[in-house]
Every structure is written in structure tokens, then in C-alpha cells.
Structure 1
Amino acid sequence: MSATPDILELIAKYLDDPNNALYKSQVDIYRSQSSKNEALFKEMERIWLLSGKAAALNLVDQNDAIAKFQLRIANKNHRIAKKKSSFIRWAAAAVVFLAVATSIYLFTNKDILANIGKREYASDALPGGNKAILVLANGKRISLTDVNNGDIVEEAGLSITKTSDGQLVYTVKNSSSDSNQEQAFNTIETPKGGMWQVKLPDGSAVWLNAASSLTYPLAFSNGKNRMVELKGEAYFEIAKDPLHPFVVKTSKQDVQVLGTHFNINSYSDEMTVKTTLLEGSVLVSPSQGIAEPLVLKPGEQAVLTTAGIDVREVDTDEAIDWKNGYFMFNNEKQESIMRKIARWYNVKVTYADAEARAVTYYGSISRFENVSKVLRKFEQTGEVRFEINNDQITVYKEDKD
């Protein structure tokens, strides 16, 4: 008996109702027929448990998940595909299972969806967008949201231009001014509900997430590191220059690169600093001396805590979900998710029930929906409910009695 949709549906029903004698007997027969069947059941059982049962699965856009999965596999190089073959098999089964289990859960829990559909929020919040403040070396603050496209200002031999697609571009006009430029710094700040892209004087591109800032010199002088300072989160695509390493300083670590793509999440309200490498290599050095510097390889993430650095293999798409316009959750807790929502929608979050903080989810949602639509997705799990009053979101643990 092969793993047809009917079998997957049967396994999903059994996992959701393990005391049902009919489901159990049918699943037991399937499991006993071959070692492959038993292995598939074990994988499905593990996926079910990791994803908090089907309650979280309706967050997944089935077609989108399958398309993204196929694209990721196609883009894996031989080394990564060879190393992660077991993960790839697991993920392929998971995509199919999630799609089937989603349909089952929504069909068998129509009462939950009906109740959610009747709820109304007192307020709503629009998603964030291209919003930022440019702080010049002389202290002048320019709202990039309000200023017209084109040249903004010339400063120390540079032209600073805002493009129509929401970028800030630095163009060197007078290279003889380098000695002055290296002493002058600009800062770009994104508020809550804002993001921006900047092309630095050396050609490196940086995407800033909400509630973040990047401070950088107007020129990277010869013979020295190209050094910038980050608060919050940013994705970097660094222009290659083997003679001049690029260094990103945060409050807890330095990241040194020669030319590569990586993401750093270093918000002050997070317990960890996460550095994720997509291409090239980076050297991560904790500033407090709690661990030795280490080099990351593509597909690896360094997680810095007060105890040291933990290196793990990750799906890099999850690390840069914000840049690509998504919230992606891989068994992520409600509390962590709501911190992201608070930054992007510029809202405050409180919990009426402490238990709501620990509810976990798997899936993805567009970052460009109103917050009400995002929250309704979570409510469809039957685990939580929300109230929105102006810029305040209150989270409740759903009473299932």
C-alpha cells in the first residue's frame, strides 16, 4: 500500500484522534505491511508533534509551500544536497502532509472557523513600508519617506540619491575628499513599521528591517576595515574587496567578511543575536569574550547567548523572510512572533493569559496584509484570540471548554 492522499488523510485523522478504534486498526494494518510504511508513519507522527498538531497548519499556503520547496531543492548545490538528503526527504513528506492535514483540520473544526468569522476587532493596523530617517554628519535629519526622488544632498564629495524603488544610493564624486569622508558618518534609521535599502559608498547593499539603524562612514579609507555599526536587523550583500574586510559591529559581537551575503538579527529585546550566512564566509567574534571567534559556512547560523555561541544548520529563507515580504514560522512561539508583529505594525502587545506566550506555529504569512488578517490566521488554530484597540493588541489563550 503506497502513501496515497487517502493514507495520509487516514494517518492525520488517527493522530488527531488516537482513541478512535477504526482509525487505529486501519493505520496499524498499513504500518505492518512494510518497513517503509512504518518509517513514513513515524515521520508523519514526528511532524505532527513538532508542528503543534494540525492546529497550526492552516497558516500554510499549500501551493506556495510546495512551489517554494521545489525551488529551494533546485537551488541547493551538490554539497548541501548531499549533506542534507535526509532533511530533504523529511521536508518533501512534510509538505504533502501539511497540505492534507490542513484540509482535514479545517473541515472537522468548522465551528472554530464560524466563531472566528463572527468576531470583530475594534481597530486595525496597516502593514509597514518604506520609511526611514537619514541623519547627516552635521546632525541634520531628513525623512526619506517624504523627500522627493533624486539627489537629496551632496556631502563631503558624495552625492546621496533617493531612487524610485526605495533605495538610498551613495555616489563618489570627488575621490580626493576621502580623508574628510572617513571622519564623517551618516546614520539611516527605520522606525517601527519601516524598512529601507541603502547602497553604501563601496557598492555594498544593505536592507534594514523595522526599528533598526545603520551607522557608516562616507568613505572606507584605504588600508583599513570597512566598518559599520548595526542596531536591530539587516541583510547585507557586501561588495568584494579582499584587501579591505567589511566589519559589522553590534553591541554583542563583530562580524567580519570579505564579500558575502548574510543576515544579522541583533534587536535589544531579543535574548539572542543570530547571524545567518547565505553565501561566502564570515568570522563571528563575540565582544564579551565568552567564546572564541568562529567561521560560518553557507547555510549555517550562529546563535549568540550569554553562555556562548551555538552553530546550527538552518533554512536561510526563514532568516530573510522579512526581506522577502513574509513572516515564516518553524515551531516558533507566539511571544517571539508577536515581537515581530509589534515592530512591523508599530503596535504594542500585552498578554491577558501567560499561557498564550508559549503557543507555537508552523507556516508563513505575507507581511503586507493588515494586522487583523494576520491575527485571524492565528485564531484559526483555536489556541488564541486577540483584541485590537488603537495601537494595542491583547493576546488571550482560547478557552476550549
Structure 2
Amino acid sequence: MNLNETDNLLQLADLIAAYHEGKLNVRQKAELEAKLIGDASFKRMFDSFNNKTNVFSDLKVMNGFDTELSLVEFHKRYATPKTFRLWPRIAAATAALVAIAFCIWFYTSPDPDHTPELVSVSEDIAPGKQGATLTLANGKKIRLSDAANGQIAKETGISVTKTADGQLVYEVKETNDNLNQINTLSTAKGETYILTLPDKSKVWLNAASSLTYSAGLMERGHSARLVKLEGEAYFEVAKDKTHPFVVESKGQRVEVLGTHFNVNAYADEPIIATTLLEGSVKVTDGINKQIIKPGEQALNNSGKIKVEEVNIESITDWKNGELYLNHINFKVAMRKIARWYDVEIIYNASVPDDMEIGGWVSRNEKLSSVLKSIESAGLVKFKIEGKKIYINK
């Protein structure tokens, strides 16, 4: 982090202070609005620093203000990624962080007497890991975390290989009727896996999910490439104009020719959420259909499909090793946490359904660290007992 970056952070702290005091003049307001519209990284930084929950969650979790670690985490989360030396700039950078925190603390008037109670832990829980089970057409199950690298299965016309970096790759060796045999890749709670299909499409499978497909990928009697999803997956589909790629889930069909998109179709979620990053997607349920554009999400509630713009980071967080908790429903966030840490959530009746939380948390943290980050906002208290999380207001 260089001095220019530090100066920018201090200027941003001053800007936030003036913003909360109502001291920005017409020109400054216009400049700020133009900057927020034209610079996505600046907007993310501004939104983050303008949310006292985010900043103070970060400060409290960073190993009790371990200065060097705080700077590393601060730089990863808010600054432009680059190689930098810590100690030559550590005082200035820490001053910038403290200045920002002070501005947010002072001008948003929190309760000075409130000290959040840290999460009560009887035994901590490690984060999830890479793992899945492959079920072949003959019923044989292969635990991929236990399987050695290299070819792990060979069905007629198909080779299935586990790569050195722990991914599953299908290759079609010859064309025959056995390509219609059905395989299923499934993850338990606390597992995630990456699969490369025979057409070279790539699938990231989230925790507690399953993907079912024929070994040759083609839908019998049709030209479509068909997979069936339960849970959540992110797709990077290889382009093939003559063979549409179709994802079926809970009565919905998503049809693409080649694109990047995410489908969340967990049984315990009230809606199916299909989010597009690039290309074009057609979402169909019965007679209802919608075509969505990049940055849009189709929300399917029992066949009624609504389209709205969405923050992509909040959708693909799990794929990128994060838990994005900024301005999302608290109970939705806890369902994400429950799947990744393989725990049961038990709510006290005092916890409302419409509460929101904020911040980012790494999916590589232990459960207690994640809960402490959330609890530092003072909205709820957690208690971990074995595989159960008790939540009180």
C-alpha cells in the first residue's frame, strides 16, 4: 500500500464524515455521484466504509487489532490487489483504517455503552472442504476425497478422471448407446466440487447439492445437453449453437447456448434464483418464461417469474471462497452458513424474519470466527453446542 492509496483512504474518511454531516456542497455531491456511478471499485469501498457494521466487524475480528494482520486483511478487502511491503507504510495505513472507523462511529451515533457479547463455543467447527460422491449408472459410489488422482472410472465410451487439483473430468472416447447411462455427482453439507462435463462445460457444485446427467450429456431423443440440479451450482457452459444446454430444477428449465450463470434451487429456499453473468439465458416454468441479461436474476416463486437487477458478488461468493453477508436477510445468510459448516440452526422466538446483516467473511474461517463477525453488530447472540447453533436476539 503506497502513500497515494493511504491519502485516498483518508480523503474517503473525510468524505464520509462530510456526507453524514450534510456538509457536501452541490458540486461535491455531483462529483461524488459521478464517481459512484463510474467507478465500481470506489463504490464498493464507499458502501463498505459507509456501513459501520462492516468496518467494526472487521476491526473486532482481526485478531484483536493485530496490526500487521489487520493491514493484510484490510488491504485484501478494500484496496487494489498488488504486491506490497507491510512495515514501511504500516503506521499510515493503520491510521487510515482507524480514521475511517472513527468517522463512521462518530457520525452514525452508535450506543457507546454497547459491548457485544462474544459467541459462546463449546467446540469449534472447521469450514467445509472439497469433496463429493460420484454415483455411476451401475450404482457404484466413489468418494472423490478418498480416490487417487488419475482415471477413477471407465464406462463404455466414457473416461472419468480425477485431476491433481481435485476436479472431476469426463471425456467421451467413442459414441454408443451407453452414453445415455445416468451419473450423479453429489456433495454433502460442508462439501464443494468442480466438474468438467464431456462438452468441456465446467460446473462448480455448492454444498448439499447434486447434479444428474447422462454420461454423454445429450438428452435421449433430443439435441439438448441436459443436466438436473438439486441445490446450487455455477455453470460455465461451452458454446454449441446446435445443442442448447438445459438445467432442470424443481420444475424449472434454464436454457442457454453458451454462457456463465448461477442457479440456486435448494429445497429449503422459497424461490429458485437464476443469475446471469454473461451471455443470454431463457428461464421457463410451465407457460411462464423470461429472458435475462447479464447482471439480472430471475426469481421463480411457484412458476411466477420476476426479473430484477442483482449484485453479482452476493451470488457467486461461495464459488470465490467467501460468504457475502452485506444487506441480505439474516436467516438466508444462516442457511448458507448451515450448509457450509454442516450445522443445525435453532432460533429463539425473539429473532425476527426480516432482519438484515452486513459484511464479508471468508469461507475458510472456523465457525466461531464467522459468528463473532456477525455478532459484533450487536443484533443477535450465538451459542454453539456440538453441531447446533442457538440464536437469541
The C-alpha deviation readout for 1:90-109, integer Å capped at 9, x for no partner, is xxxxxx99993577439977
Cα contact 1:353–1:395 (8 A) shared by 2: no
In the aligned structure 1, how far is the partner of 2:80 from the partner of 2:138?
Answer: 46
The C-alpha deviation readout for 1:145-200, integer Å capped at 9, x for no partner, is 11111111111221111112121111222x232x2212x01000000000011111
The answer on 1:270 being equivalent to 2:273 is: no
Between Structure 1 and Structure 2, the one with more helix by share is 1
Cα contact 1:9–1:101 (8 A) shared by 2: no
The answer on 1:213 being equivalent to 2:221 is: no
* Equivalence for 1:316: 312
Task: Give the SS at the match of 1:376.
Answer: helix
Instruction: Report which stretch shifted further, 219-228 or 187-196.
Output: 219-228
Gaps (5+ residues) in structure 2?
A: 1-10, 37-44, 59-72, 83-95
Q: Give the Å deviation of 1:213.
A: 0.2
* Equivalence for 2:121: 121
**Residues 57-76 of structure 1: matches in 2 within 5 Å?**
57-59=55-57, 62-67=74-79
* Equivalence for 2:139: 139
* Equivalence for 2:249: 250
In the aligned structure 2, how far is the partner of 1:111 from the partner of 1:122?
Answer: 28
Task: Tell me how large the CA RMSD over aligned residues is.
Answer: 3.4
In the aligned structure 2, how far is the partner of 1:135 from the partner of 1:49?
Answer: 45
Task: Give the SS at the match of 2:52.
Answer: helix
The C-alpha deviation readout for 1:120-168, integer Å capped at 9, x for no partner, is 4112111001111100001111111111111111112211111121211
In the aligned structure 2, how far is the partner of 1:166 from the partner of 1:249?
Answer: 26
**Residues 138-177 of structure 1: matches in 2 within 5 Å?**
138-173=138-173, 175-177=174-176
Cα contact 1:112–1:380 (8 A) shared by 2: no
Task: Give the SS at the match of 2:360.
Answer: strand
In the aligned structure 2, how far is the partner of 1:156 from the partner of 1:54?
Answer: 59
AA paired with 2:290? Answer: L
Equivalenced residue count is: 343
Q: Give the Å deviation of 1:54.
A: 2.5
In the aligned structure 2, how far is the partner of 1:98 from the partner of 1:277?
Answer: 38
- TM-score, normalization by structure 2: 0.78
In the aligned structure 2, how far is the partner of 1:296 from the partner of 1:366?
Answer: 30
* Equivalence for 1:77: none
In the aligned structure 2, how far is the partner of 1:317 from the partner of 1:49?
Answer: 14
Give aligned-pair identity as a percent: 40
Instruction: Report which stretch shifted further, 337-346 or 98-107.
Output: 98-107
* Equivalence for 2:13: 5
In the aligned structure 2, how far is the partner of 1:59 from the partner of 1:279?
Answer: 33
Q: Give the Å deviation of 1:112.
A: 4.8
Task: Give the SS at the match of 1:105.
Answer: helix
Q: Give the Å deviation of 1:52.
A: 11
- Specify which of 367, 387, 393 is matched with residue 391 of structure 1: 387
The answer on 1:332 being equivalent to 2:328 is: yes
* Equivalence for 1:21: none
* Equivalence for 1:224: 223
In the aligned structure 2, how far is the partner of 1:51 from the partner of 1:310?
Answer: 32
Q: Give the Å deviation of 1:344.
A: 0.3
Task: Give the SS at the match of 1:139.
Answer: coil
The C-alpha deviation readout for 1:274-302, integer Å capped at 9, x for no partner, is 11111111110014x4x3x1211111111
In the aligned structure 2, how far is the partner of 1:277 from the partner of 1:313?
Answer: 10
- TM-score, normalization by structure 1: 0.76
AA paired with 1:256? Answer: E
Task: Give the SS at the match of 1:342.
Answer: helix
* Equivalence for 2:365: 369
**Residues 286-365 of structure 1: matches in 2 within 5 Å?**
286-287=285-286, 289=287, 291=288, 293-306=289-302, 308-365=304-361
* Equivalence for 1:200: 197
